[in-house]
Amino acid sequence: MNRLCLALGTMTALAWVACSPPPPATEADGLPAGAEQAAAVITRATLETPIREFSDDRFEGRAPATRGDVMARDYLVSAMTDLGLEPGGPEGRWQQAVGVVGVTAQVPAKWSFTTEDGPVELSNLDEFIAFSGVQEAASVIDNAEVVFVGYGIEAPEYGWDDFKGTDLTGKVLLMMNNDPDWDPELFAGKTRLYYGRWTYKYESAARRGAVGAIIIHTTPSAGYPWQVVRASWTGEQFELPAEGEQRIQVGGWLSEKAAEQLVTASGHDLGALIESAKSPDFTPVPLAITTSLRLENQLNRVDTANVLGLLPGGDLADEFVVYTAHHDHYGIGEPDAEGDNIYNGALDNAGGVGHLLAIAKAFKELPQPPRRSILFLFVAGEEQGLLGSKYWAAHPTVPPGKVAANLNFDGANIWGKTRDVTLVGYGKSSLDAVAERFAARQDRTVKPDQFPDKGYYYRSDQFSLAKIGIPALYFDAGTDFVGRPEGWGKEQIDRWTETHYHQPSDEVTDEWSWEGMVEDAQLGFFCGLAVAQADGLPTWTPGDEFEAARLQALATVR
Protein backbone atom coordinates (compact mmCIF):
# COMPACT_ATOMS: atom_id res chain seq x y z
CA MET A 1 0.00 0.00 0.00
CA ASN A 2 1.34 3.45 -1.02
CA ARG A 3 2.88 5.00 2.10
CA LEU A 4 1.12 8.36 1.49
CA CYS A 5 -2.35 6.70 1.61
CA LEU A 6 -1.73 5.30 5.11
CA ALA A 7 -1.32 8.94 6.19
CA LEU A 8 -4.36 10.04 4.13
CA GLY A 9 -6.57 7.21 5.46
CA THR A 10 -9.61 8.42 3.42
CA MET A 11 -10.91 6.79 0.18
CA THR A 12 -12.39 9.37 -2.23
CA ALA A 13 -12.76 8.24 -5.84
CA LEU A 14 -9.56 10.11 -6.71
CA ALA A 15 -7.81 8.74 -3.62
CA TRP A 16 -8.95 5.25 -4.69
CA VAL A 17 -7.23 5.60 -8.01
CA ALA A 18 -4.13 7.18 -6.41
CA CYS A 19 -3.97 4.76 -3.56
CA SER A 20 -4.77 1.38 -4.97
CA PRO A 21 -1.76 -0.94 -5.08
CA PRO A 22 0.38 -0.57 -8.24
CA PRO A 23 -0.92 -2.71 -11.14
CA PRO A 24 0.89 -6.07 -11.43
CA ALA A 25 4.01 -6.23 -13.53
CA THR A 26 2.73 -7.35 -16.93
CA GLU A 27 3.51 -7.74 -20.58
CA ALA A 28 3.30 -3.94 -20.77
CA ASP A 29 6.50 -3.97 -18.76
CA GLY A 30 8.00 -6.58 -21.05
CA LEU A 31 7.30 -9.42 -18.65
CA PRO A 32 5.66 -12.76 -19.45
CA ALA A 33 2.41 -13.93 -17.89
CA GLY A 34 2.79 -15.21 -14.36
CA ALA A 35 5.72 -12.96 -13.49
CA GLU A 36 3.99 -11.38 -10.51
CA GLN A 37 2.94 -14.75 -9.09
CA ALA A 38 6.45 -16.08 -9.63
CA ALA A 39 7.93 -13.12 -7.74
CA ALA A 40 5.63 -13.87 -4.83
CA VAL A 41 7.63 -17.01 -3.98
CA ILE A 42 10.39 -14.66 -2.83
CA THR A 43 9.47 -14.33 0.83
CA ARG A 44 11.26 -13.83 4.15
CA ALA A 45 11.53 -17.60 4.55
CA THR A 46 12.92 -18.09 1.03
CA LEU A 47 15.77 -15.72 1.91
CA GLU A 48 16.26 -16.40 5.62
CA THR A 49 16.66 -20.18 5.41
CA PRO A 50 19.68 -20.25 3.05
CA ILE A 51 21.22 -17.12 4.58
CA ARG A 52 21.15 -18.55 8.12
CA GLU A 53 22.40 -21.91 6.87
CA PHE A 54 25.19 -20.56 4.65
CA SER A 55 26.54 -18.25 7.36
CA ASP A 56 26.38 -20.84 10.12
CA ASP A 57 29.57 -21.55 12.10
CA ARG A 58 29.56 -25.01 10.48
CA PHE A 59 30.73 -23.39 7.21
CA GLU A 60 33.72 -21.93 9.08
CA GLY A 61 33.61 -18.64 7.17
CA ARG A 62 34.00 -20.28 3.72
CA ALA A 63 37.62 -19.29 2.99
CA PRO A 64 38.92 -20.53 -0.39
CA ALA A 65 39.96 -24.18 -0.58
CA THR A 66 39.01 -24.94 3.01
CA ARG A 67 36.57 -27.52 4.42
CA GLY A 68 34.04 -24.70 4.75
CA ASP A 69 34.53 -23.78 1.08
CA VAL A 70 33.83 -27.38 -0.01
CA MET A 71 30.73 -27.48 2.20
CA ALA A 72 29.54 -24.17 0.75
CA ARG A 73 29.93 -25.37 -2.82
CA ASP A 74 28.21 -28.67 -2.07
CA TYR A 75 25.39 -26.73 -0.46
CA LEU A 76 24.94 -24.60 -3.61
CA VAL A 77 24.96 -27.65 -5.89
CA SER A 78 22.28 -29.41 -3.85
CA ALA A 79 20.19 -26.24 -3.50
CA MET A 80 20.22 -25.71 -7.27
CA THR A 81 19.55 -29.40 -7.91
CA ASP A 82 16.52 -29.13 -5.61
CA LEU A 83 15.35 -26.08 -7.55
CA GLY A 84 15.53 -28.06 -10.79
CA LEU A 85 18.35 -26.07 -12.39
CA GLU A 86 20.89 -27.74 -14.66
CA PRO A 87 24.68 -27.80 -14.24
CA GLY A 88 26.02 -24.61 -15.85
CA GLY A 89 29.75 -25.29 -15.65
CA PRO A 90 32.25 -26.68 -18.18
CA GLU A 91 31.46 -30.12 -19.67
CA GLY A 92 28.06 -30.31 -17.95
CA ARG A 93 29.51 -29.95 -14.45
CA TRP A 94 28.22 -27.72 -11.65
CA GLN A 95 31.67 -26.42 -10.76
CA GLN A 96 34.37 -24.52 -12.65
CA ALA A 97 37.66 -25.21 -10.88
CA VAL A 98 39.64 -22.10 -10.03
CA GLY A 99 43.27 -22.75 -9.20
CA VAL A 100 44.54 -20.35 -6.56
CA VAL A 101 47.80 -19.85 -4.78
CA GLY A 102 47.64 -19.31 -1.06
CA VAL A 103 50.57 -17.31 0.26
CA THR A 104 51.19 -17.15 4.00
CA ALA A 105 53.94 -14.70 4.78
CA GLN A 106 55.91 -14.86 8.02
CA VAL A 107 55.88 -11.12 8.84
CA PRO A 108 58.51 -9.96 11.36
CA ALA A 109 57.21 -8.24 14.51
CA LYS A 110 59.13 -5.09 13.58
CA TRP A 111 59.80 -3.26 10.29
CA SER A 112 62.82 -0.98 10.51
CA PHE A 113 63.49 2.14 8.47
CA THR A 114 66.76 4.11 8.44
CA THR A 115 66.22 7.85 8.47
CA GLU A 116 68.33 10.93 8.95
CA ASP A 117 67.01 10.99 12.52
CA GLY A 118 68.09 7.39 13.12
CA PRO A 119 66.15 4.11 12.92
CA VAL A 120 62.35 4.05 13.06
CA GLU A 121 60.90 0.68 14.14
CA LEU A 122 57.25 0.03 13.42
CA SER A 123 55.12 -2.77 14.92
CA ASN A 124 53.33 -5.40 12.86
CA LEU A 125 49.48 -5.27 12.86
CA ASP A 126 49.31 -2.08 14.96
CA GLU A 127 51.44 0.25 12.82
CA PHE A 128 52.05 -1.65 9.59
CA ILE A 129 50.64 -4.50 7.57
CA ALA A 130 52.83 -6.31 5.04
CA PHE A 131 52.06 -9.08 2.55
CA SER A 132 53.97 -10.86 -0.20
CA GLY A 133 53.67 -9.47 -3.71
CA VAL A 134 55.19 -12.58 -5.22
CA GLN A 135 54.32 -16.29 -5.26
CA GLU A 136 57.82 -17.34 -4.20
CA ALA A 137 59.45 -18.79 -1.09
CA ALA A 138 60.61 -15.36 0.03
CA SER A 139 59.84 -11.70 -0.67
CA VAL A 140 62.85 -9.45 -0.27
CA ILE A 141 63.39 -5.72 0.00
CA ASP A 142 67.09 -5.05 0.40
CA ASN A 143 68.19 -1.61 1.47
CA ALA A 144 65.75 0.16 -0.85
CA GLU A 145 65.04 3.88 -0.88
CA VAL A 146 61.53 5.08 0.06
CA VAL A 147 60.00 7.61 -2.35
CA PHE A 148 56.71 9.49 -1.74
CA VAL A 149 54.67 9.41 -4.99
CA GLY A 150 51.45 11.12 -3.93
CA TYR A 151 48.41 9.26 -5.36
CA GLY A 152 50.67 7.18 -7.60
CA ILE A 153 48.33 7.72 -10.55
CA GLU A 154 48.98 8.10 -14.26
CA ALA A 155 45.75 9.12 -16.05
CA PRO A 156 46.32 10.73 -19.47
CA GLU A 157 42.58 11.42 -19.83
CA TYR A 158 42.87 13.78 -16.85
CA GLY A 159 46.32 15.14 -17.78
CA TRP A 160 47.57 13.63 -14.53
CA ASP A 161 50.91 11.90 -14.00
CA ASP A 162 52.38 11.58 -10.51
CA PHE A 163 55.56 9.99 -11.84
CA LYS A 164 56.74 12.48 -14.47
CA GLY A 165 59.06 9.85 -15.94
CA THR A 166 60.97 9.35 -12.67
CA ASP A 167 62.89 6.04 -12.55
CA LEU A 168 61.46 4.16 -9.59
CA THR A 169 63.01 0.78 -10.31
CA GLY A 170 63.88 -0.99 -7.05
CA LYS A 171 62.30 1.72 -4.87
CA VAL A 172 59.67 1.42 -2.15
CA LEU A 173 56.78 3.75 -3.01
CA LEU A 174 54.87 5.53 -0.23
CA MET A 175 51.41 6.27 -1.62
CA MET A 176 48.17 8.03 -0.72
CA ASN A 177 44.92 6.09 -1.08
CA ASN A 178 41.86 7.19 -3.13
CA ASP A 179 42.08 9.64 -6.10
CA PRO A 180 41.73 13.45 -6.24
CA ASP A 181 38.21 14.18 -4.91
CA TRP A 182 37.78 17.96 -4.75
CA ASP A 183 36.81 18.81 -8.35
CA PRO A 184 33.89 17.13 -10.19
CA GLU A 185 35.81 17.63 -13.46
CA LEU A 186 38.86 15.83 -12.10
CA PHE A 187 38.60 12.07 -11.42
CA ALA A 188 34.80 12.50 -11.10
CA GLY A 189 35.19 14.44 -7.82
CA LYS A 190 33.91 12.51 -4.77
CA THR A 191 33.22 9.33 -6.76
CA ARG A 192 36.14 6.93 -6.28
CA LEU A 193 37.35 5.63 -9.64
CA TYR A 194 39.50 2.53 -10.13
CA TYR A 195 42.50 4.86 -9.80
CA GLY A 196 41.49 5.29 -6.17
CA ARG A 197 41.39 1.60 -5.34
CA TRP A 198 44.21 -0.12 -3.41
CA THR A 199 44.44 -2.71 -6.18
CA TYR A 200 45.33 0.05 -8.68
CA LYS A 201 48.02 1.41 -6.31
CA TYR A 202 49.93 -1.87 -6.07
CA GLU A 203 49.49 -2.52 -9.84
CA SER A 204 50.76 1.01 -10.56
CA ALA A 205 53.87 0.48 -8.39
CA ALA A 206 54.57 -2.86 -10.07
CA ARG A 207 54.35 -1.24 -13.52
CA ARG A 208 57.15 1.13 -12.40
CA GLY A 209 59.45 -1.70 -11.37
CA ALA A 210 59.19 -0.77 -7.68
CA VAL A 211 60.26 -3.44 -5.17
CA GLY A 212 57.63 -2.39 -2.62
CA ALA A 213 54.55 -0.21 -2.20
CA ILE A 214 53.08 1.13 1.05
CA ILE A 215 49.64 2.80 1.22
CA ILE A 216 49.03 5.33 3.97
CA HIS A 217 45.79 4.37 5.76
CA THR A 218 43.27 6.95 6.84
CA THR A 219 39.65 5.90 7.41
CA PRO A 220 38.22 8.54 5.00
CA SER A 221 40.65 7.71 2.17
CA ALA A 222 40.21 3.93 2.63
CA GLY A 223 36.51 4.00 3.35
CA TYR A 224 36.95 1.66 6.33
CA PRO A 225 38.89 1.61 9.62
CA TRP A 226 42.39 0.17 10.25
CA GLN A 227 40.73 -2.92 11.79
CA VAL A 228 39.50 -3.93 8.32
CA VAL A 229 43.00 -3.63 6.85
CA ARG A 230 44.30 -5.73 9.73
CA ALA A 231 41.65 -8.44 9.31
CA SER A 232 41.82 -8.51 5.50
CA TRP A 233 45.56 -8.69 5.07
CA THR A 234 46.65 -11.04 7.80
CA GLY A 235 46.74 -14.81 7.36
CA GLU A 236 46.80 -16.68 4.08
CA GLN A 237 46.30 -14.47 1.00
CA PHE A 238 44.97 -16.08 -2.13
CA GLU A 239 45.65 -15.07 -5.72
CA LEU A 240 45.24 -16.51 -9.18
CA PRO A 241 48.50 -18.09 -10.35
CA ALA A 242 51.08 -15.52 -11.50
CA GLU A 243 51.54 -15.35 -15.28
CA GLY A 244 54.97 -13.67 -15.46
CA GLU A 245 53.58 -10.14 -14.99
CA GLN A 246 55.77 -7.54 -13.23
CA ARG A 247 55.19 -7.63 -9.47
CA ILE A 248 56.32 -5.80 -6.34
CA GLN A 249 58.07 -7.96 -3.74
CA VAL A 250 56.14 -6.56 -0.75
CA GLY A 251 52.86 -4.66 -0.45
CA GLY A 252 51.89 -2.91 2.74
CA TRP A 253 49.90 -0.35 4.67
CA LEU A 254 51.01 2.12 7.34
CA SER A 255 48.63 3.56 9.91
CA GLU A 256 48.29 7.34 9.65
CA LYS A 257 50.21 7.78 12.92
CA ALA A 258 53.07 5.51 11.83
CA ALA A 259 53.31 7.30 8.46
CA GLU A 260 53.45 10.62 10.29
CA GLN A 261 56.24 9.34 12.57
CA LEU A 262 58.29 7.94 9.68
CA VAL A 263 57.98 10.98 7.43
CA THR A 264 58.76 13.36 10.30
CA ALA A 265 61.89 11.36 11.13
CA SER A 266 63.02 11.94 7.54
CA GLY A 267 62.76 15.67 8.00
CA HIS A 268 59.58 16.05 6.00
CA ASP A 269 56.04 17.11 6.93
CA LEU A 270 53.36 14.59 5.93
CA GLY A 271 50.63 17.25 5.75
CA ALA A 272 52.74 19.35 3.40
CA LEU A 273 53.59 16.30 1.26
CA ILE A 274 49.90 15.41 0.96
CA GLU A 275 49.07 19.01 0.00
CA SER A 276 51.82 19.02 -2.64
CA ALA A 277 50.41 15.80 -4.09
CA LYS A 278 47.14 17.58 -4.87
CA SER A 279 48.85 19.60 -7.62
CA PRO A 280 49.06 18.25 -11.19
CA ASP A 281 52.66 19.54 -11.11
CA PHE A 282 53.59 17.11 -8.31
CA THR A 283 56.82 15.13 -8.76
CA PRO A 284 57.99 12.16 -6.66
CA VAL A 285 59.84 13.05 -3.42
CA PRO A 286 62.78 10.85 -2.34
CA LEU A 287 62.54 10.77 1.49
CA ALA A 288 66.16 9.83 2.31
CA ILE A 289 64.79 6.76 4.05
CA THR A 290 66.04 3.26 3.31
CA THR A 291 64.58 -0.03 4.41
CA SER A 292 64.96 -3.78 4.21
CA LEU A 293 62.39 -6.48 4.87
CA ARG A 294 62.31 -10.22 4.24
CA LEU A 295 59.13 -12.30 4.31
CA GLU A 296 59.41 -16.10 4.40
CA ASN A 297 56.43 -17.40 2.44
CA GLN A 298 54.56 -20.65 2.59
CA LEU A 299 52.93 -21.41 -0.74
CA ASN A 300 49.78 -23.48 -1.05
CA ARG A 301 48.57 -24.31 -4.59
CA VAL A 302 44.96 -25.41 -4.22
CA ASP A 303 41.63 -25.36 -5.99
CA THR A 304 38.44 -23.58 -5.14
CA ALA A 305 35.64 -23.30 -7.66
CA ASN A 306 32.87 -21.22 -9.11
CA VAL A 307 29.48 -22.94 -8.90
CA LEU A 308 27.12 -22.52 -11.85
CA GLY A 309 23.46 -23.39 -12.36
CA LEU A 310 21.58 -22.92 -15.61
CA LEU A 311 17.94 -22.34 -16.51
CA PRO A 312 17.72 -22.91 -20.26
CA GLY A 313 15.75 -20.27 -22.14
CA GLY A 314 13.36 -20.37 -25.07
CA ASP A 315 13.79 -18.79 -28.50
CA LEU A 316 16.89 -16.89 -27.43
CA ALA A 317 18.39 -19.72 -25.39
CA ASP A 318 21.91 -19.13 -26.74
CA GLU A 319 21.91 -15.71 -25.05
CA PHE A 320 22.20 -15.28 -21.31
CA VAL A 321 21.41 -13.15 -18.30
CA VAL A 322 24.09 -13.86 -15.66
CA TYR A 323 23.34 -13.44 -11.95
CA THR A 324 26.42 -13.37 -9.72
CA ALA A 325 27.11 -13.55 -5.99
CA HIS A 326 30.34 -14.50 -4.29
CA HIS A 327 30.17 -17.56 -1.99
CA ASP A 328 33.40 -17.02 -0.07
CA HIS A 329 34.37 -15.06 3.01
CA TYR A 330 37.39 -14.80 5.35
CA GLY A 331 37.22 -18.21 7.04
CA ILE A 332 38.82 -18.60 10.46
CA GLY A 333 41.14 -15.79 11.46
CA GLU A 334 42.23 -13.43 14.20
CA PRO A 335 39.72 -13.63 17.09
CA ASP A 336 37.75 -10.52 18.04
CA ALA A 337 37.39 -9.13 21.55
CA GLU A 338 34.82 -11.86 22.34
CA GLY A 339 37.25 -14.52 21.17
CA ASP A 340 35.11 -15.32 18.12
CA ASN A 341 37.43 -16.27 15.23
CA ILE A 342 34.90 -17.45 12.63
CA TYR A 343 34.25 -14.77 9.98
CA ASN A 344 30.70 -15.88 9.14
CA GLY A 345 30.07 -13.38 6.33
CA ALA A 346 26.30 -13.36 6.83
CA LEU A 347 25.49 -10.04 5.15
CA ASP A 348 28.69 -10.35 3.08
CA ASN A 349 27.81 -12.53 1.28
CA ALA A 350 25.42 -15.20 2.46
CA GLY A 351 23.02 -12.31 1.80
CA GLY A 352 23.80 -12.19 -1.93
CA VAL A 353 23.78 -15.99 -2.17
CA GLY A 354 20.31 -15.98 -0.59
CA HIS A 355 19.11 -13.43 -3.17
CA LEU A 356 20.27 -15.61 -6.07
CA LEU A 357 18.65 -18.80 -4.73
CA ALA A 358 15.38 -16.93 -4.12
CA ILE A 359 15.48 -15.40 -7.61
CA ALA A 360 16.20 -18.83 -9.11
CA LYS A 361 13.15 -20.18 -7.30
CA ALA A 362 11.02 -17.41 -8.84
CA PHE A 363 12.33 -18.15 -12.35
CA LYS A 364 11.42 -21.81 -11.89
CA GLU A 365 7.94 -20.68 -10.86
CA LEU A 366 7.26 -19.09 -14.27
CA PRO A 367 4.77 -21.02 -16.44
CA GLN A 368 7.19 -20.70 -19.37
CA PRO A 369 10.99 -20.41 -19.32
CA PRO A 370 12.24 -16.93 -20.21
CA ARG A 371 13.41 -16.23 -23.76
CA ARG A 372 17.10 -15.97 -22.84
CA SER A 373 18.78 -18.51 -20.60
CA ILE A 374 19.59 -17.59 -17.00
CA LEU A 375 23.00 -18.47 -15.56
CA PHE A 376 23.44 -18.38 -11.78
CA LEU A 377 27.17 -17.90 -11.17
CA PHE A 378 28.34 -18.23 -7.57
CA VAL A 379 31.93 -16.99 -7.70
CA ALA A 380 34.86 -17.89 -5.46
CA GLY A 381 37.57 -15.82 -3.85
CA GLU A 382 35.93 -12.39 -4.09
CA GLU A 383 37.37 -11.25 -0.80
CA GLN A 384 40.83 -12.12 -2.05
CA GLY A 385 40.52 -9.83 -5.08
CA LEU A 386 37.58 -10.92 -7.21
CA LEU A 387 39.44 -14.16 -8.06
CA GLY A 388 36.51 -16.33 -9.18
CA SER A 389 34.90 -13.66 -11.35
CA LYS A 390 38.30 -12.73 -12.82
CA TYR A 391 38.84 -16.39 -13.64
CA TRP A 392 35.38 -16.68 -15.22
CA ALA A 393 36.02 -13.50 -17.24
CA ALA A 394 39.27 -15.05 -18.50
CA HIS A 395 37.61 -18.48 -19.04
CA PRO A 396 33.95 -17.64 -19.71
CA THR A 397 31.61 -20.65 -19.84
CA VAL A 398 29.39 -18.75 -22.33
CA PRO A 399 30.53 -16.19 -24.96
CA PRO A 400 30.64 -12.72 -23.34
CA GLY A 401 29.09 -11.26 -26.51
CA LYS A 402 26.09 -13.50 -25.87
CA VAL A 403 25.58 -12.23 -22.33
CA ALA A 404 22.87 -9.57 -22.23
CA ALA A 405 23.62 -8.37 -18.71
CA ASN A 406 25.04 -9.25 -15.31
CA LEU A 407 23.11 -8.67 -12.07
CA ASN A 408 25.46 -8.86 -9.08
CA PHE A 409 24.40 -9.27 -5.45
CA ASP A 410 27.00 -8.51 -2.79
CA GLY A 411 25.53 -7.66 0.62
CA ALA A 412 21.90 -7.30 1.68
CA ASN A 413 19.50 -4.79 3.18
CA ILE A 414 18.99 -5.91 6.79
CA TRP A 415 17.42 -2.68 8.08
CA GLY A 416 13.87 -2.64 6.67
CA LYS A 417 11.70 -1.36 3.82
CA THR A 418 12.99 1.60 1.82
CA ARG A 419 11.53 4.23 -0.48
CA ASP A 420 14.63 3.95 -2.63
CA VAL A 421 17.15 1.44 -3.92
CA THR A 422 20.79 2.10 -4.75
CA LEU A 423 22.12 1.24 -8.17
CA VAL A 424 25.91 1.14 -8.02
CA GLY A 425 27.10 2.19 -11.47
CA TYR A 426 24.01 4.32 -12.17
CA GLY A 427 24.52 6.25 -15.41
CA LYS A 428 26.77 3.64 -17.00
CA SER A 429 24.23 1.71 -19.10
CA SER A 430 20.66 1.38 -20.41
CA LEU A 431 19.97 -0.96 -17.49
CA ASP A 432 19.17 2.14 -15.43
CA ALA A 433 15.81 2.44 -17.20
CA VAL A 434 14.99 -1.20 -16.49
CA ALA A 435 15.78 -0.73 -12.81
CA GLU A 436 13.74 2.48 -12.64
CA ARG A 437 10.74 0.86 -14.32
CA PHE A 438 10.47 -1.98 -11.82
CA ALA A 439 11.49 0.02 -8.77
CA ALA A 440 8.61 2.36 -9.62
CA ARG A 441 6.33 -0.68 -9.53
CA GLN A 442 7.41 -1.07 -5.93
CA ASP A 443 6.84 2.65 -5.39
CA ARG A 444 10.56 3.16 -5.04
CA THR A 445 13.08 5.41 -6.70
CA VAL A 446 16.49 4.40 -8.00
CA LYS A 447 19.41 6.38 -6.68
CA PRO A 448 23.06 6.37 -7.72
CA ASP A 449 25.70 5.02 -5.34
CA GLN A 450 25.09 6.85 -2.07
CA PHE A 451 28.62 6.20 -0.87
CA PRO A 452 30.44 7.22 -4.10
CA ASP A 453 33.69 7.75 -2.18
CA LYS A 454 33.84 4.02 -1.41
CA GLY A 455 34.31 2.97 -5.05
CA TYR A 456 31.88 0.06 -4.75
CA TYR A 457 31.64 -0.43 -8.55
CA TYR A 458 35.25 -1.59 -8.59
CA ARG A 459 34.97 -3.66 -5.41
CA SER A 460 32.71 -6.49 -6.44
CA ASP A 461 32.35 -9.13 -9.10
CA GLN A 462 30.37 -7.15 -11.69
CA PHE A 463 33.66 -5.28 -12.23
CA SER A 464 35.30 -8.41 -13.67
CA LEU A 465 32.38 -8.93 -16.07
CA ALA A 466 32.18 -5.24 -16.96
CA LYS A 467 35.86 -5.37 -17.94
CA ILE A 468 34.95 -7.90 -20.68
CA GLY A 469 32.13 -5.62 -21.78
CA ILE A 470 29.10 -7.10 -20.04
CA PRO A 471 26.70 -4.36 -18.83
CA ALA A 472 26.19 -4.86 -15.12
CA LEU A 473 23.64 -3.99 -12.47
CA TYR A 474 24.72 -3.95 -8.84
CA PHE A 475 21.90 -3.22 -6.47
CA ASP A 476 22.71 -2.03 -2.95
CA ALA A 477 20.45 -1.21 -0.03
CA GLY A 478 18.58 2.08 -0.22
CA THR A 479 19.02 4.61 2.59
CA ASP A 480 15.53 6.19 2.82
CA PHE A 481 13.84 3.80 5.28
CA VAL A 482 10.08 3.74 5.77
CA GLY A 483 9.09 5.00 9.19
CA ARG A 484 12.58 6.26 9.97
CA PRO A 485 13.89 9.79 10.26
CA GLU A 486 16.09 11.41 7.60
CA GLY A 487 19.68 10.15 7.78
CA TRP A 488 18.81 7.08 9.86
CA GLY A 489 19.64 4.75 7.00
CA LYS A 490 23.13 6.10 6.35
CA GLU A 491 23.81 6.03 10.07
CA GLN A 492 22.89 2.33 10.29
CA ILE A 493 24.97 1.41 7.27
CA ASP A 494 27.99 3.43 8.44
CA ARG A 495 27.74 1.90 11.89
CA TRP A 496 27.50 -1.58 10.39
CA THR A 497 30.60 -0.96 8.27
CA GLU A 498 32.46 0.43 11.26
CA THR A 499 31.53 -2.51 13.54
CA HIS A 500 30.80 -5.63 11.52
CA TYR A 501 32.30 -5.29 8.00
CA HIS A 502 34.80 -8.17 7.51
CA GLN A 503 34.57 -9.00 11.23
CA PRO A 504 33.51 -12.22 13.03
CA SER A 505 30.40 -10.33 14.14
CA ASP A 506 28.92 -10.26 10.61
CA GLU A 507 26.30 -12.81 11.66
CA VAL A 508 22.50 -13.09 11.34
CA THR A 509 20.89 -11.59 14.45
CA ASP A 510 17.31 -11.07 15.61
CA GLU A 511 17.76 -7.38 14.81
CA TRP A 512 17.87 -8.20 11.12
CA SER A 513 14.82 -6.97 9.25
CA TRP A 514 13.97 -9.01 6.12
CA GLU A 515 11.16 -7.12 4.38
CA GLY A 516 13.49 -4.72 2.56
CA MET A 517 15.55 -7.64 1.32
CA VAL A 518 12.43 -9.33 -0.07
CA GLU A 519 11.68 -6.26 -2.19
CA ASP A 520 15.31 -6.02 -3.38
CA ALA A 521 15.33 -9.68 -4.45
CA GLN A 522 11.99 -9.30 -6.26
CA LEU A 523 13.38 -6.23 -8.03
CA GLY A 524 16.41 -8.26 -9.08
CA PHE A 525 14.08 -10.95 -10.45
CA PHE A 526 11.93 -8.51 -12.44
CA CYS A 527 14.96 -6.72 -13.92
CA GLY A 528 16.70 -9.92 -14.99
CA LEU A 529 13.46 -11.29 -16.42
CA ALA A 530 12.79 -8.10 -18.39
CA VAL A 531 16.31 -8.26 -19.87
CA ALA A 532 15.78 -11.95 -20.68
CA GLN A 533 12.52 -11.13 -22.51
CA ALA A 534 13.59 -8.02 -24.42
CA ASP A 535 14.24 -8.13 -28.16
CA GLY A 536 17.39 -6.02 -27.96
CA LEU A 537 20.47 -6.12 -25.72
CA PRO A 538 21.29 -3.52 -23.05
CA THR A 539 24.04 -1.07 -23.99
CA TRP A 540 26.70 0.94 -22.17
CA THR A 541 26.26 4.70 -22.08
CA PRO A 542 28.18 6.03 -25.11
CA GLY A 543 31.78 6.76 -24.08
CA ASP A 544 31.64 4.61 -20.95
CA GLU A 545 34.96 3.04 -19.88
CA PHE A 546 33.63 -0.46 -20.71
CA GLU A 547 31.92 0.27 -24.05
CA ALA A 548 34.96 -0.63 -26.14
CA ALA A 549 35.21 -4.06 -24.56
CA ARG A 550 31.52 -4.61 -25.36
CA LEU A 551 31.86 -3.74 -29.01
CA GLN A 552 34.77 -6.15 -29.22
CA ALA A 553 32.81 -8.95 -27.52
CA LEU A 554 29.81 -8.43 -29.79
CA ALA A 555 32.03 -8.47 -32.86
CA THR A 556 33.33 -11.92 -31.95
CA VAL A 557 29.85 -13.51 -31.89
CA ARG A 558 28.41 -11.97 -35.03
Site of interaction with Zn ion (CB under 5 A): 348-349, 410
> Computed from CA positions of residues 230, 250, 453, 506, in that sequence, does the dihedral angle turn out positive or negative?
negative
What is d(CA 168, CA 148) in angstroms, rounded to the nearest whole number?
Answer: 11
293 class by beta-carbon count within 10 Å (0-12 exposed, 13-18 middle, 19+ buried): buried
What is d(CA 465, CA 467) in angstroms, rounded to the nearest whole number?
Answer: 5
Q: How far is the CB of 382 from Zn ion (least distance, A)?
A: 6
Q: With respect to Zn ion, which residue has the nearer C-beta, 122 or 493?
A: 493
Among 323, 263, 308, 318, which residue's Cα sits nearest to residue 287? Answer: 263
Q: With respect to Zn ion, which residue has the nearer C-beta, 349 or 413?
A: 349
Q: In whole angstroms, what separates CA 509 from the centre of its chain?
A: 23
Query: b or e along 50-60 (b: 16 or more beta carbons within 10 Å of the residue's beta carbon)?
Result: bbebbbbeebb
Phi and psi at residue 196, in whole multiples of 5°?
Answer: -95, 5
Q: In 3-state terms, what secondary structure has residue 548? A: helix
What is d(CA 56, CA 517) in angstroms, rounded to the nearest whole number?
Answer: 19
Q: How far is the CB of 348 from Zn ion (least distance, A)?
A: 4
What is d(CA 323, CA 320) in angstroms, rounded to the nearest whole number?
Answer: 10
Directed axis angle between helix 67-83 and helix 352-365, to 10°? 20
Q: In whole angstroms, what separates CA 65 from the centre of its chain?
A: 20
What is d(CA 503, CA 289) in angstroms, rounded to the nearest whole number?
Answer: 35
Q: Is-contact 290 211, C-beta < 8 A? A: no
Q: Is-contact 287 369, C-beta < 8 A? A: no
Q: With respect to Zn ion, which residue has the nearer C-beta, 273 or 353?
A: 353
Task: Name 299's Cβ contacts closer than 8 Å, sequence gap at least 6.
Answer: 101, 102, 103, 135, 136, 137
Q: How far is the CB of 501 from Zn ion (least distance, A)?
A: 9
Q: Is-contact 502 228, C-beta < 8 A? A: yes
Q: Is-contact 407 472, C-beta < 8 A? A: yes
DSSP string computed for 146-180: EEE-TT--EEGGGTEESSTT---TT-EEEEE-S--
DSSP state of 21: P
Q: With respect to Zn ion, which residue has the nearer C-beta, 401 or 524?
A: 524
What is d(CA 390, CA 373) in angstroms, rounded to the nearest whole number?
Answer: 22
